[in-house]
Amino acid sequence: MTLKNFKFNVIEDDGYARAGLIETHRGNIQTPAFMPVGTQATVKACLIDDVIKTGSEIILSNTYHLMIRPGVDRIISAGGLHKFMNCKLPILTDSGGFQVMSLSKLNKVDREKGAIFNSHVDGKKFILSPEESIRVQIGLNSDIVMIMDECPKKTIDYNIINKSMEISIYWAKRSKVAFGSNPHKALFGIVQGGLFKDLRIKSLNALTNIGFDGYAIGGLAVGESQNEMFDVLDNIKEAMPADKPRYLMGVGTPADILGAVKRGIDMFDCVMPTRSGRTGLAFTWNGRINIKNNKFKSDNDPLDINCSNLSLNKYSKNYLNHLFNTNEILGSTLLTLHNINFYQELMSAIRDHIKMGTFEKFHDEYIDKL
């Protein structure tokens, strides 16, 4: 059977905001899109069929975590990541660079060998080169593969960011060679350069010269302010290839997403809706709700009376408060699904307003509310 090639088209734009369509052999993805995070081959606390019912059209999983547990060979033996986790959606896999920085005990970054680190689980030593990262992702059989990059911690030291960015460009070239010809899959480059405009532009130009199926902006969501993040996007929005999807990695809050869409971003992922759901924080059209608050003990209204999806409006804030204050697992499941559903409602509304030419008004109405 011939597999459908990866394809992206912009359908409508409104200022820099774009509504588009990514086509994959596993299904289409409307953009701007939010990808729920399934780090360890599961979106925590949820059945994948329920995640699909929220309107999610793609999920993200992670190379670093899966190469450590259960290991790529075990997933290959199960027929790939989709079969392993019973997921029919397209899957994007992060290369592992961010987790090497944020989770592992990093020994060193070697330009030739890659990232040398010890697992945060058991201390086992790993060497993650660009070639190994691609090998693992191809083994997982993900649909969108990310290049191996170095994601430095936030710093204003120009020399550190410049050196890291140069290594990432070198690894991008090696990732492209290792990926080879896979027209039914996509390989995305990752723009680095910290908060420095000239380094971001240099990184982007180098990546476009190499040529990728999409372009991600990495090195953000590492402690910078929202305004700093928006400045980075403003600095590169006109230089980003218009015919390729643009992915802001690890972002973020609903307000972050609104502001980034305004600056031309097409794809997002973040643990925020799922992690917040597990800890009792709900996202709603009227702002955030801490369901553990005592005031909800007598509130018999649902989080969103208009949300009939997954019967989520059958559960009152009173009941959810009880579940969280008694540490019942069902509370985490219900609030996680609520948050994912809200994020997908937000993305759907964003796409609709872009197509109607009213996104700016929608942005201004909700940017400070959500």
Query: Does residue 299 carry a catalytic annotation?
Result: no
Q: What is the mean pLDDT of residues 202-230?
A: 96
Say what the pLDDT of residue 121 is: 87
Q: Tens digits of per-residue pLDDT, 28-54?
A: 999 999 999 999 999 999 999 999 999
Q: Tens digits of per-residue pLDDT, 99-132?
A: 776 666 777 889 999 988 888 888 888 899 999 9
Say what the pLDDT of residue 104 is: 65
Mean pLDDT of the chain: 95
Catalytic residue among 50, 143, 266, 269: 269
In eight-state DSSP terms, residue 214 is E
Confidence of residue 326 (pLDDT cuts 50, 70, 90): very high
Residue 285 CA to residue 243 CA, distance in Å, equals 32
Query: Which residue intervals of the chain are DSSP H helices?
Result: 48-53, 63-68, 72-77, 81-85, 97-102, 130-140, 158-179, 197-210, 226-236, 254-262, 272-278, 317-325, 329-356, 359-366
Q: Tens digits of per-residue pLDDT, 342-357?
A: 999 999 999 999 999 9
Residue by residue, DSSP assigns 59-85 as EEEEHHHHHHTT-HHHHHHTTSHHHHH
Q: Is CATH 2.170.120.12 correct for 10-98+132-272?
A: no
Say what the pLDDT of residue 103 is: 64
Residue 303 CA to residue 187 CA, distance in Å, equals 39
Catalytic residue among 14, 50, 94, 256: 94
CA 66 centroid distance within chain: 16
- 151 and 167 in contact (C-beta within 8 Å)? no
What is the C-alpha R_g of the chain?
20
Q: What is the mean pLDDT of residues 167-191?
A: 97
Say what the pLDDT of residue 62 is: 93
Q: Tens digits of per-residue pLDDT, 221-247?
A: 889 999 999 999 999 999 999 999 999
Please determine, for residue 85, whether its predicted confidence score (pLDDT) is greater than 90: yes
Q: What is the mean pLDDT of residues 144-168?
A: 94
Q: What is the mean pLDDT of residues 253-278?
A: 98
Confidence of residue 289 (pLDDT cuts 50, 70, 90): very high
Query: Does residue 243 carry a catalytic annotation?
Result: no
Torsion angle defined by CA atoms of residues 156, 161, 162 and 166, in that order, rounded to the nearest 10 degrees = -170
- 299 and 318 in contact (C-beta within 8 Å)? yes
Q: In what order do the strands lie in the sheet with 7-14?
A: 7-14, 17-24, 27-31
Strand 33-35 with 17-24, pairing = unpaired
Q: What is the mean pLDDT of residues 8-31?
A: 98
Q: What percent of the chain has pLDDT over 70?
A: 98
Say what the pLDDT of residue 1 is: 64
